[in-house]
Structure 1
Amino acid sequence: MYYSILPVMPSVEIIEYVELSYNGCDILAVVTDEGYKIERLYSCDYTKFMDETFAPGTLLNSKLID
């Protein structure tokens, strides 16, 4: 048991981000146990944002990573 004036917080998971070039676009991805997941897309082309392959949370195909 802990006696403290501050609340005892559980350990915080460290999130690792990586900038990648994926299928011709620059993206920010999160490193997970399954692989890389898309977090953010950097593009000036609005059609890339409508493409389902660049949706946030999508697991990346390792063959398309440059």
Structure 2
Amino acid sequence: MSQIGLTESVKGDSRRFEIWLQGRQEVHTIQAPSLDVKQSWVRQIKGVLMSQLAELKGKQNTALAKSNH
């Protein structure tokens, strides 16, 4: 899950965005029905990705703390 990314703007249509996996080896272009819907989706996806990042950082910090004892 840590290798998921988001590109908010895709050339050609302001309603499109990309979700990509593993350094863009797999890219999914998504087109929302409207710009407002796209902004809502992107905001929600960013929230999930940021939550996952925070969780991963927490796990890394816990592992580092354990290895230092």
Mark yes or no: TM-score above 0.5. Answer: no
Which protein has the bigger helix share? 2
Larger gyration radius, structure 1 or structure 2: 1
Could you tell me the TM-score, scaled by structure 1's length? 0.29
Which protein has the bigger strand share? 1
Could you tell me the TM-score, scaled by structure 2's length? 0.28
